[in-house]
Structure 1
Amino acid sequence: MKTFEPIKEVPNLELCKKLKELGYPQEGGGWYWDFEDYKLAFIWAEEVADELIKAPTCRELGEWLPQNWNIVSIQYKNGRWGVSSHEVEEWRMWEADTEANARAKMLMWLVENRYVKFTKTDQKQKSIIQSQGAENDKNLPSMW
């Protein structure tokens, strides 16, 4: 068993493309997919280029969760990962082949339903939640 396999620590290329389309910040150093040769590489902040797509780690994905968001469980069963929560209108589970992919699917759902809004910043990442549902995203409070 390998102790660290980056490919298992970040979402796959397709999910990272979707995160980018939804506005996930692409600045800063870290893991990136090289869009030209479809390889994963660790890139320093000053090396970030347009042909790269940010590949956030499980921790980085978790930092975007709304304040006081509870993940009920993280499960690994029969070769599949599941992340579940009951913080929204009903209990939900996001399933995938890796924990990073399951977390990415959860975060994409939160963005698409306006529970989270990505903001680009040179400072610490910020997550925004709308306290009364997904009807209107104006003047949302920042959790930081």
Structure 2
Amino acid sequence: MHAGSRGGNIVASGNDDRTVEAGAGPSGVSINRAGNLVLVANRNAATVSVFRFANGSLTPLSTVTIGNATSSPVHVQFTPDGPLREVARAPVGDWAQGIAFSRDGKTVVAQNMADRNLAVFRFDNGRLRDTGQRIAVNGGPAAIRTADRQ
């Protein structure tokens, strides 16, 4: 899967590449656990494109407006039970590029590219609280994921 071409396209890679139209400035992609739904954050359009993935093909389902001209999505992620919804908002650093949740869903880390750090939040009872903790990194973080421990 590739996102980020100038034309606002997503390319489903495999034996037979196909291009489908997403919104302007596709920058984040998430695939649900079942592998049949794909979300694309369109940072220049303030939208999220929703696609169905079946039989090697992406089919557009809908487009959801999230944000505005000064605050657009750059990252999307499925919740464990699958629905697309906004659960909380909090100010983050300069040019926030993505988030990752801990396995228990109680810690949220936001990456701030221009500030060159990771901001740590706690998510409890539907509220997002800034812990004030910042983890400095050498470069501007642009992609973040969590890994399960074995």
TM-score in same-fold range (> 0.5) = no
Q: Which structure shows the higher helix fraction?
A: 1
Which structure ranks higher in relative contact order (CA pairs < 8 Å, sequence separation ≥ 6)? Answer: 1
Superposition TM-score, scaled by structure 2 size: 0.28
TM-score, scaled relative to structure 1: 0.29
Structure in which a larger fraction of residues adopt strand:
2
